[in-house]
Amino acid sequence: MRSSFKDGQTRRSVLSGCACSLTMLLPTPLCADSDRGCLTASIEEEGQSSPASAQSANARIVSVIGSRLLSVLGEAAPTFDYEFKLGRFSPSASPDCLNTRATIRFPANLVSELGSGEAVTYVLGHEIAHVAQYVASSNLKRQICQGRSVDVRTYELMADAISGWCYRILFPGATSDIVLSTISKLSDYEFSNAAHHGTVTERISAFNLGTSASDKRMRLSVVNLVNNIALFEEAIFPSRQIESFNSAQDKRDYYLRRLFVSPRS
């Protein structure tokens, strides 16, 4: 990773499904009522390889789900300008190093391949989370813009946690089974690669950390997360754990209280 978080190199799965069935899964209204909603988003289709009707349906899906994710993110992250680009390229989130704009790329075909609104929400939420990380941490953005190395795995897993938090708000009754299956299928197994995103177990653990926070109605602060890297790593990586706990639930609650913001009483 040099100039952005790229998540597509190892995404090879091909799932059955079609854009039309996805569209049917989407509730109305089309646009979220948010200053980050679809009114400020534009979709530029790059290098299309599918029929125009399928591209149009996929673009609409990305726009709607992206708007909903950004609306849910709300005050959890500083405001940023963004642009969705739909095309052949791998999923990625690239900051504009001169301002707060960012570009989120989403492969048009991946919308169809994922085959469910839940799975698209998870993947798109992960990319939007990267943008939130950039604007929440000027240090991280500086490192990326200067081509310096960062701990890819930690920020990737944090993006999974942020996506999990958003996902649970948008799908409060879902079992997460579709997303957990998607994580398993999309994860890379290049453990010694500097761009490794974490094992399936780590990615699911991170996603579940986010959903658990949502379940407890805890608020997300991306600034708080990026400023507590070591604590986040403790929560995800057993080898980094300093505290001892009587149960897995005690451990989960301990890190939730420190990484997320308790609801107002």
Q: Which spans of this chain sit near Zn ion (rule: CB under 5 A)?
A: 5, 7, 156, 159
Q: Is 12 helix (H, G, I), strand (E, B) or coil?
A: coil
Q: How far is the CB of 5 from Zn ion (least distance, A)?
A: 4
Comparison of 159 and 178: residue with beta carbon closer to Zn ion: 159
Q: Is 219 helix (H, G, I), strand (E, B) or coil?
A: strand
Closest CB to Zn ion among residues 54, 134:
134
Shortest Cβ 51–Zn ion spacing (Å): 29
Question: Residue 109, SS3?
Answer: helix
Nearer to Zn ion, 7 or 118 (CB): 7
Shortest distance (Å) from residue 84 CB to Zn ion: 16
Label residue 27 left, alpha or beta by phi (over 0 means left) and psi (-120 to 50 means alpha).
Answer: beta
What's 91's DSSP letter?
A: P
Residues in the chain: 265
Q: Classify burial at 103, counting beta carbons within 10 Å of its beta carbon; exposed 0-12, middle 13-18, buried 19 or more.
A: middle
Of 54 and 91, which CB lies nearer to Zn ion in the complex structure? 91
Q: Report in angstroms how near the CB of residue 68 gets to Zn ion at its nearest.
A: 19
